[in-house]
Amino acid sequence: MSRLFDSFYGRLSTIFLLLILALGAGCVAIAFNSAGHLFSDVEQLLNREYARSVANEIGPLVAQGFSEERVRSAIHYMMVLNPMVEIYLLDNHGKILAFFLNPAEKIVRDSIDLAPVTAFVDTAGGSLMQGEDPRSPTRLKPFSAAELQMGTSRGYVYIILGGERYDASVRRIRDSYYVRAGLVAFLLAVLSTLIVGLSLFSLLTRRLKSLSETVRGFERGELGRRVDARGRDELGALGRSFNEMAATIEADVEKLRLAERMRRDLIGNISHDLRSPLASIQGYLETMALKGPQLAPEERRRLLDISLRNASSLQKLVEELFELAKLDARQVRPAPEPVQIAELAQDVALKLAPQAEKAGVSLVVDRAAELPLVSCDIAMIERVLTNLIENALRFTPPAGSVHVDFSRHEDSVRVIVADTGAGIDPEDLPHIFDRFYRADKSRDRSSDLARNAAEHAGPGAGLGLAIARQIVALHGSALEVESSPGKGARFSFSLSVRAIATPV
């Protein structure tokens, strides 16, 4: 039972039940009170001439003055004909001169307020009102009244229409079959209202219960739970708001999981990429320390060169990590200036020409098209071109080629770096910009070109493309890639044209 009252449905139903009972009790009280007034008014309206008739009958008997003995027999006859009334004779001050009622009944007043009596007489019974009951100090009853001339003084015939016998009869009627039938009908109506009301409350609160269960499930970690948000009412709006909130939370949780997974991968990859050159440097230095006198100068020089290359690779990795961290934190802002992008690409190609020649790859920069100046940070875009061309040279087999092309658009120039390498597998293509991503993490820098070509994201640290993407994003563009296995890869991005004022 306590659990029922703890629920919203239980509390709402209890309040509704109490309101129905209070309303029913009020309606019963009003109905009985109104019925009592109705009976009194009807009784007074039907018998408003009754006192006039009594006054006409006893008028000759009191024409010479009031005498109770002379009027008693006449009034007794009238009361036999209508035993429900009580007859009182009043003087012109309201004092009771005589009364005629059941011998067992007594009066508690010796006078009556004449205000309602005179008002009734003046309107000839047209005003429905109640007067004082001589048998009660407080009770008011319907009456009939008429003037009565008694000798030289004026008095009144005052008749209580609902006497003691009348009240007893009304009480018996209230306890009769008709009253009980009315109460039963009323109780049935209240019961039907309760059943319909509670059923409607159950239907209305069912959606709240469903929402509550969904929220509890969501709290337990069932992030896929959603609410049936049909309807245009407040509950429908609440359900839609919850679904939107749940979708946002689920997406944020998924992002947190992805970020945590990337963090673990990042730590693992950094550890691997730092450990490999450090282990190599340590090994060669230990070799030189242990075999110093026995090593030939050429061997010593070779070991030093390898150690220097590993130290340089280690330094480059650390610098790239710092650079990527600054780009992620938006601590670097481009300083745009007008640039001839084809000339910048040619400078980068000249810088990488020895690397291309050593790999046996043709590196070509298209300078045929006349291009407008673009707005960019020279150092940043040079870094992007360097990373993209180095990445293409790394995965292009001997006798292959790397092309840097340009296309003019209405308000931008598109830069394209394409190679004739092995291409990128479709399952790896969405991840090539992820830092430290490798298609096959079991392969290291010594993997042959044919295998590494399938891992186009690189056998190195895997930061070059991530850095290039961040720099391009800072310039308001996006680094895009197109590739398929055996057909090479094609990286591209756009730079906006800078409007240069024409000299006068």
pLDDT for 423 beyond 70 = yes
pLDDT confidence bin for 361, thresholds 50/70/90: very high
**Rounded mean pLDDT, 261-283:** 72
> What percentage of the chain reaches a pLDDT higher than 70?
77
Q: Among the residues of 329-371, which ranges form H helices?
A: 341-359
Sequential DSSP letters for 80-121: HH-TT-EEEEE-TTSBEEEEES-TT---S-SB---HHHHHHH
Distances (CA, A) of 395 to 421, 424, 431, 484: 6, 10, 17, 14
Structural contact between residues 116 and 201, judged by C-beta atoms closer than 8 angstroms = no
What does the pLDDT read at residue 451?
38
Q: Are strands 153-160 and 130-132 parallel, antiparallel or unpaired?
A: unpaired
> Do 47-174 and 234-326 share a fold?
no
Residue pLDDT, tens place only, 161-219: 765 555 655 556 655 655 666 677 777 777 887 787 777 767 767 777 777 788 888 88
φ/ψ of 153, rounded to 5, equals -110, 160
Mean pLDDT over all residues of the chain? 78
Q: Is 453 exposed, middle or buried (0-12, 13-18, 19+ CB in 10 A)?
A: buried
What does the pLDDT read at residue 457?
34
Residues whose CB is less than 8 angstroms from the CB of residue 498 and which lie 6 or more positions away in sequence, other chains included = 336, 338, 372, 373, 374, 375
What does the pLDDT read at residue 444?
37
Q: Are strands 412-419 and 401-408 parallel, antiparallel or unpaired?
A: antiparallel
Tell which residue, 459, 453, 458, has the closest CA to residue 488. Answer: 453
**Rounded mean pLDDT, 403-416:** 91
Alpha-carbon distance 406 to 332, whole Å? 27
φ/ψ of 10, rounded to 5, equals -65, -45
Q: Is 53 exposed, middle or buried (0-12, 13-18, 19+ CB in 10 A)?
A: middle
| Domain 47-174 CATH class label | alpha beta
**Rounded mean pLDDT, 242-264:** 82
User: Three-class SS of residue 363?
Assistant: strand
φ/ψ of 159, rounded to 5, equals -115, 120
The partner residues of 337 in beta bridges, in order of sequence, read 376
Distances (CA, A) of 152 to 130, 368, 443: 29, 144, 140
Q: What residue ranges do the domains of the chain occupy?
A: 2-26+177-218, 47-174, 234-326, 333-496
pLDDT for 69 beyond 60 = yes
What does the pLDDT read at residue 472?
92
The partner residues of 406 in beta bridges, in order of sequence, read 415
Residue pLDDT, tens place only, 302-322: 888 888 887 877 777 777 677
Structural contact between residues 490 and 396, judged by C-beta atoms closer than 8 angstroms = no
Q: Which of 37-41, 229-233, 403-407 has the highest mean pLDDT?
A: 403-407
Range list of β-strands (E), 342-488: 362-365, 374-376, 401-408, 412-419, 480-483
User: Where does 333-496 sit in CATH, by number?
Assistant: 3.30.565.10
Task: Choose the weakest-confidence range: 43-52, 425-434, 462-471.
Answer: 43-52
Answer yes or no: pTM beyond 0.75. no
Tell which residue, 155, 145, 160, has the closest CA to residue 51. Answer: 145
- Taken as a whole, the chain contains a residue count of 504
**Rounded mean pLDDT, 93-109:** 81
Tell which residue, 441, 434, 455, 451, has the closest CA to residue 391. Answer: 455
Count of C-beta atoms within a 10 Å radius of residue 435: 23
User: Rounded to 10 degrees, what is the CA torsion of 168, 173, 176, 181?
Assistant: -150
Distance of CA 323 to the CA centre of its chain: 43
Alpha-carbon distance 460 to 273, whole Å? 8
pLDDT confidence bin for 37, thresholds 50/70/90: low
Residue pLDDT, tens place only, 463-478: 788 888 889 998 999 9
Alpha-carbon distance 87 to 73, whole Å? 13
The partner residues of 132 in beta bridges, in order of sequence, read 140
| Domain 234-326 CATH class label | mainly alpha
Of residues 403 and 177, more confidence is placed in 403
Residue type, 237: A
**Rounded mean pLDDT, 406-425:** 90
**Rounded mean pLDDT, 139-147:** 87
Range list of β-strands (E), 137-289: 140-150, 153-160
pLDDT for 362 beyond 90 = yes
Q: Is 266 exposed, middle or buried (0-12, 13-18, 19+ CB in 10 A)?
A: middle
* Angle of helix 378-394 versus helix 464-474 axis, rounded to 10: 150
Of residues 134 and 46, more confidence is placed in 134
Alpha-carbon distance 102 to 100, whole Å? 7
Q: Which two tokens stand for residue 31?
A: 């109905």
What does the pLDDT read at residue 210?
79
**Rounded mean pLDDT, 317-336:** 74
**Rounded mean pLDDT, 318-345:** 80
